[in-house]
Structure 1
Amino acid sequence: MLKYSLKRIVKLIPVLIAITLIVFTLMYLTPGDPALQKLTSQGGEVTPELLSEVRHEMGLDRPFIIRYSSWVLNVLQGDLGNAYTDDQPVVPKLMKALGYTASLAIACTLFSVIIAVPLGVYTAIKKDSLFDNIIRIFTFTGNAMPNFLIALLLMFLFCIKIRAFPVIATASLKGMFLPTLALSIPMISRFARQTRADVMSQLSEEYVIGMHARGVKERVILFRNVLHNSAGSIITIVSLQIRVLIGGSVVTEMIFRWPGIGNLMMNSITARDFPVVQGAVLILATLQILVNLLTDLSYFLIDKRISLE
């Protein structure tokens, strides 16, 4: 397993290099002058001499290839540079924001799995019952609604009508509730539908019919065999949703002002703070790659018939 992991990591190094080159090129071609943006935000008169001096201090007057090579060399040493807006190191800012995004992703994933898996199993057992039809309607609706609409509806209900939560989420468990719920509703819908489909498929298999004929208890068949054989597809959709949460919770973080990495990226793009954007994309891409690797390893752990090769 260690050998396989190392081989996968080595093969993904060119992918990271390509990602850094693409992101750096996009930032380089983005309209706007970060030096002018910085001076304008500070107030005062912006003279051509002052602008030229600040551009030199920020390294914006150097050729593209030199700037890119210097950035890559610094990244290899664990240095993502300093932010243009406040001259503070980028790494601590990203780590702080990543902690908030990670806590939101973990809470959302755990909450969704705890709710969706039992719901999916029960609706599979009670196929075509009234409860199953009601849950199918809710999961279809939740899966179809975009995150930003769910977030706005929750904000309107809980923040404006009931006034149980502040409009701007605080960095606390209470502040995490609405963003977690907004991201969890579509996830619960997808998990429940996938679990229901997988369990129904397994229940029609011959080994389940044979175990019923031998008098094996229903809960043993369900939890020891059916769920175990359905775990692969459930892990697949969970890993897909984790990757979506890592890089795709930008809108929800912006709506609730959750201080995660998505919110930081959007503010940095607006401020032309390119070192922060480049560092954030690099970290998110690395996390996506690691999630892919962990997902592949989990298949091997739950089913020894699967070969890592």
Structure 2
Amino acid sequence: MTASSCYRGRFAPTPSGPLHFGSLVAALGSYLDARAVGGEWLVRIEDIDPPRCPQGADTTILRQLEAFGLHWDKEIVWQHGRHAAYQQALEQLAAQGLAYPCSCSRKQWQDYAIYPGWCRDGLNASGKPVAWRLRSDLAKRPITWQDRLFGHQQFDPAEMGDVVLKRKDNLWAYQLAVVVDDAEQGITDVVRGLDLLDNTPWQRQLQIALKLPEPRYLHLPLVVTSQGQKLSKQNLAPSLAGDDRGIRRQLFQALQALDQSPPPELATELPESQLHWAVVNWSVERLSPAEHRLSP
């Protein structure tokens, strides 16, 4: 892709806690991919699950991004204010017969690998709270796309189950919200961790059903601990450094995790200098599909 402001990428963290090193690698990868072609880079706060989002976590994340020199374009979008847009999309899907209410509990179908679709033709039990699911067997299938690192991908979402679009507690599910918001913000390229690759088939089904643009995808290799465990807030991954020296060191390490081979002398440079080098030298071709294992 030649330099163009038509590129628009994004980083969309869930504010369930401060960013960790794995988050930094994902943010940095999406930032560099956008800036290297003169594109825009947006930040969206995916706070549709309030019980998981402690007060002030979003502010902490934004301060961390700024400390690492990752400055965004345009106003930040918070998902908690987007209810009407999600509801409209759900109604569109229901009108097409692609979304249905489901009263089943996880306990009821725990012996099955995926939800068996018991409510597809009517509620299995009336008078109970309902979730809304995507009718993955009727939506476009199979789903194929070309991942910019992992190559040709093909999935049949019907073999993955009817994903939840709206929960029984009336909170919106990730799959629907991310599709609606990416389209609303004009996102052309999604750069994110490999752990979300198998979410893409449902998201592409939704994009097609709602007649929304289909962005390009680049899934980045995961960062794992020395024991091979994925870095995550659930696994108590430590927060990013807050001191100047630590920020410089971790930014350099993130460039290494992205296989960009930064020169050793860059490790002590200010974030602005490191990012300038990284934007000029960004290369998706250097990325290895292998996970990046942290030293003990």
TM-score when normalising by structure 2: 0.20
- From the CA coordinates, give the structure whose radius of gyration is larger: 1
Q: Which has the higher strand share?
A: 2
User: Greater relative contact order (Cα 8 A, min sep 6): structure 1 or 2?
Assistant: 1
